[in-house]
Amino acid sequence: MFKGVLNKMKTEINDNVNYYLELGDDFINLNQIINSKLELNFEGYQCLNCSSDIQIYRQGHCKKCFFELPSTADWVMKPELSKAHLNIEDRDLEFEKDVQLKPHILYLAYSSNVKVGVTRKSQIPYRWIDQGAINAIEIAEFPNRFLAGVSEVELKKYYADKTNWREMLKTSQSTVELENEREKAFEKLPVESSEMAKSNNFSTFKINYPVLKYPVKPKSLNIIKEKSFTNELVGIKGQYLIFKDETVFNIRSNEGVVISLNIIKS
Ligand SMILES: [Zn+2]
């Protein structure tokens, strides 16, 4: 039996994505337990910052931490709100400079349709894996988060910026030629940003997930409400565990929830 607070799964890429879940002092390679029956139990909450056991508010944090921490400020979700390049503080200027004033990548990723996104260069390809993208391509590299963010805002006129989780989980193949799409996207960038853009790697990056059976009608597990769930693990995609009965469990959106896990070998 394993027990601990949920944090998003760590990944590494080989032929397939390898998934690791840290629970308490244990580090579990989840690929090895695909085909096993798992029992998950809700055990409470633990804020990822202050360890308080009060209810999680958002992104693995209690309400107080969510509104105070520099890592959960608005510019994280909306890169165009970044201000460190102007030397303006939001919550903690040192932290913001450290994150925002690094090379950022504007990209297209295909999960069930083409979406546009921004991430720190060091997060590639992990950001794409977390979204469950089948493939992805860089549009351009920018010297900071703000420039990548304003370019994304422009491209949102033409592309989605959200992933539909249900469609993502059902999709196993891409139908879009990302290299052509990338060229079209680059031409749509405003002149100010395309002048700042560095073009690196235009080849499509492909990602294979360890999924034995894709769900046809995925239904989301609410472990807080259900308290306990037992079924056979048949795959992992994005940050979701996929079970044989088509129940799916989003690890990321349950960050800060304490669970116990029993692996019942089949
Ligand atoms: Zn807290």
Q: pLDDT of 43-66, one tens digit each? A: 999 999 999 999 999 999 999 999
pLDDT at 178: 94
Structure confidence at residue 198 as a pLDDT band (50, 70, 90): confident
pLDDT at 119: 97
Q: Which of 19-33, 170-184, 218-232 has the lowest mean pLDDT?
A: 170-184
Average pLDDT score over residue span 152-176: 93
What does the DSSP assignment read for 15-73? SSEEEEEEETTEEEEGGGGTTSEEEEEEEEE--TTT---SPP-BTTB-HHHHHH-GGGS
Same structural domain, 36 and 156: no
Question: How far is CA 238 from each of CA 37, 51, 134, rounded to the nearest angstrom?
Answer: 20, 26, 10
pLDDT at 266: 60
CA 254–ligand 1 middle distance (angstroms): 15
Does the pLDDT of residue 193 top 90, yes or no? no
* Nearest-angstrom CA–CA distance, 92 and 86: 14
DSSP secondary structure code for residue 97 in this structure: H
Structural domain containing residue 189: 75-206
CA 224–ligand 1 middle distance (angstroms): 18
Q: How many domains does the chain have?
A: 2
CA 15–ligand 1 middle distance (angstroms): 38
In the chain, pLDDT over 70 holds for what percent of residues? 99
CA 155–ligand 1 middle distance (angstroms): 35
CA 63–ligand 1 middle distance (angstroms): 7
Same structural domain, 142 and 259: no
DSSP strand pairing (228-237 vs 205-206): unpaired
Average pLDDT score over residue span 36-40: 98
CA 6–ligand 1 middle distance (angstroms): 15
CA 76–ligand 1 middle distance (angstroms): 18
Does the pLDDT of residue 229 top 80, yes or no? yes
Long-range (24+ apart) CB contacts under 8 A made by 229-234 are 229/39, 229/40, 230/37, 230/38, 230/39, 230/40, 230/264, 231/37, 231/38, 232/35, 232/36, 232/37, 232/38, 232/266, 233/30, 233/33, 233/34, 233/35, 233/36, 233/37, 233/38, 234/34, 234/35
Contacts of 215 (CB under 8 A, 6+ apart): 169, 170, 242, 246, 248
CA 70–ligand 1 middle distance (angstroms): 13
Same structural domain, 187 and 98: yes
From 206, 228, 243, give the residue that closes a domain.
206
Does the pLDDT of residue 199 top 80, yes or no? no
CA 113–ligand 1 middle distance (angstroms): 36
Same structural domain, 195 and 81: yes
Does the pLDDT of residue 19 top 70, yes or no? yes
State the DSSP H helix or E strand holding residue 112, giving kind and residue range, or none if neither.
Answer: none
Same structural domain, 56 and 81: no
Same structural domain, 215 and 200: no
Average pLDDT score over residue span 25-40: 97
* Amino acid (one-letter) located at 57: Y
Same structural domain, 59 and 91: no
Q: Other CB atoms closer than 10 Å to residue 158's CB: what's the count? A: 12
Average pLDDT score over residue span 188-217: 88
* Nearest-angstrom CA–CA distance, 18 and 210: 8
Structure confidence at residue 201 as a pLDDT band (50, 70, 90): low
Same structural domain, 136 and 188: yes
* Amino acid (one-letter) located at 100: Q
Does the pLDDT of residue 152 top 80, yes or no? yes
CA 56–ligand 1 middle distance (angstroms): 8
* Nearest-angstrom CA–CA distance, 122 and 129: 13
Structure confidence at residue 7 as a pLDDT band (50, 70, 90): very high
CA 136–ligand 1 middle distance (angstroms): 35
